[in-house]
């Protein structure tokens, strides 16, 4: 059922919800750092009605910074995760030792092959 002409609130449910809270309590919710839309939904109100209530009672609202919730914040966080940590200093020594073993094995295989064939490449 539509609201009567000249009234700001949509229905009796909305007015009963708003009657539970004083303007001071609503102001505390507005100062909590959440968006008005989220506060209105938690209270069970339409955002348009909540805005009308704020205006009627001369309450103040400061919107939280959008960067905290936006794409820039997430991408910066991802960049920090993608930065590689310093390599393990012993990893170089392990790789060098593995290379030396493989080199010696290949050299021995080549020598055995040359001795068996009698051909020097």
What is the enclosing helix (H) or strand (E) of 44?
A: none
Which residues make Cβ contacts (< 8 Å) with residue 36, sequence separation at least 6? Answer: 30, 47, 50, 51, 54, 61, 63
At 69, is the secondary structure helix, strand, or coil? Answer: coil
- Asked, for residue 68, whether it belongs to a domain, the answer is no
Q: Which residue has the tokens 């790789």?
A: 95
In a domain? residue 17: yes
C-beta separation of 9 from 43 below 8 A: no
The string of pLDDT tens digits covering residues 11-41 is: 667 777 888 888 888 888 888 888 888 888 8
- Per the CB < 8 A criterion, the answer to whether 13 and 49 are in contact is no
Which structural domain, as residue segments, surrounds residue 107? 88-121
What would the pLDDT profile of 26-85 be if each residue is shown by its tens digit? 888 888 888 888 888 888 888 888 888 888 888 888 877 665 555 555 555 555 555 556
Residue 61 lies in a domain: no
In a domain, 117, yes or no: yes
Residue 48 lies in a domain: yes
| DSSP-derived secondary structure letter, 26 | H
Instruction: Say if pTM beats, i.e. exceeds, 0.75.
Output: no
Inter-residue contact 36 to 47 (CB < 8 Å): yes
Residue 7 in any domain: the answer is no
- Tell me how many domains the chain contains: 2
Q: Is residue 67 part of a domain?
A: no
């Amino acid at each position: 059922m539509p609201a009567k002409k000249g009234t700001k609130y949509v229905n009796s449910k909305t007015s009963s919800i708003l009657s539970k809270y004083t303007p001071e309590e609503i102001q505390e919710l507005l100062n909590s750092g959440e968006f008005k839309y989220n506060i209105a939904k938690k209270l069970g109100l339409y955002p348009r009605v909540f805005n009308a209530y704020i205006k009627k009672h001369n309450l103040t609202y400061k919107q939280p910074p959008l960067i905290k919730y936006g794409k820039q914040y997430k991408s910066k966080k991802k960049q920090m995760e993608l930065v590689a940590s310093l390599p393990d200093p012993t990893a170089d020594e392990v790789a060098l030792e593995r290379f030396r073993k493989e080199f010696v094995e290949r050299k021995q295989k080549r020598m055995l092959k040359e001795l068996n064939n009698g051909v020097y490449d």
